[in-house]
Amino acid sequence: MADYPLLVFCVSPTVVPLMALRDVLVTEGLPANFGVGIAGEAANEDLTDPRWEAAFLRWLEPELHEVALIERLVREVDEEADPLVSRHLNRIARLPDVAGRLIIADHLNRTRTITAVQLLPALLVDEGHDAWGALDTLLRFIAEAGDGIIYAEAEGYCDADGELILSDADELYPVNVQSLDDGR
């Protein structure tokens, strides 16, 4: 199973075509486009296809380079979708925020589609890359359109407005209060 540090879990079956995603980026003035093959931009039929499965987010400046692979997974269709939901249900079960866990667990159980983002080397080596803002815009747009929640690794789960619902920082950096009190 691939590693997805950014995910959108949507309960609505609404499919956001790549053209709509590209238009959001263009409206924001972001120099990006999509490709569905090894090279070149996606053709109009690819951009409007409601059954798209994967696309490269390509950054156009200063030269063309790929920054992320975005995949659309449908539960009960794509073999990675259900295990991904199960993995996140297990992940949140260890978190201390009971109310947040209930909200996220309910949402995960009702999830119908998942948009999964694999980060490519251009983003991994440049924390200040402008494409980070483009990804934020895309994830929020997808979450809004599909009644989704966004998962960002090392941060947690938030709504389409970016409001944190459940932090997973406790899981990554557990604090043992007893050992702090004992000076250990």
pTM, whole model, 2 decimals?
A: 0.86
What does the pLDDT look like over 57-115, one tens digit per residue? 999 888 888 999 999 999 999 999 999 999 999 999 999 999 999 999 999 999 999 99
Q: Strand 65-74 vs strand 113-119: parallel, antiparallel, or unpaired? A: antiparallel
- Scan for tokens 């494409």, then name that residue: 131
The strands making up 164-167's β-sheet, listed across from edge to edge, are 32-35, 54-59, 65-74, 113-119, 6-10, 148-152, 156-158, 164-167
DSSP at 38: S
Taking the C-alpha atoms of residue 19 and residue 25, their distance in angstroms, rounded to an integer, is 10
Round to the nearest angstrom and report the end-to-end CA distance of the chain. 38
pLDDT at 48 over 70: no
The runs of H, that is alpha helices, within the chain are: 18-27, 44-48, 81-93, 98-110, 121-124, 131-145, 169-172, 177-181
- Asked which of 58-62, 152-156, 170-174 is least confident by mean pLDDT, the reply is 170-174
CB–CB of 68/57 below 8 Å? yes
The pLDDT of residue 3 is: 77
Taking the C-alpha atoms of residue 85 and residue 9, their distance in angstroms, rounded to an integer, is 9
What does the pLDDT look like over 33-47, one tens digit per residue? 888 766 556 556 666
CB atoms within 10 A of CB 36: 18
pLDDT at 178 over 70: no
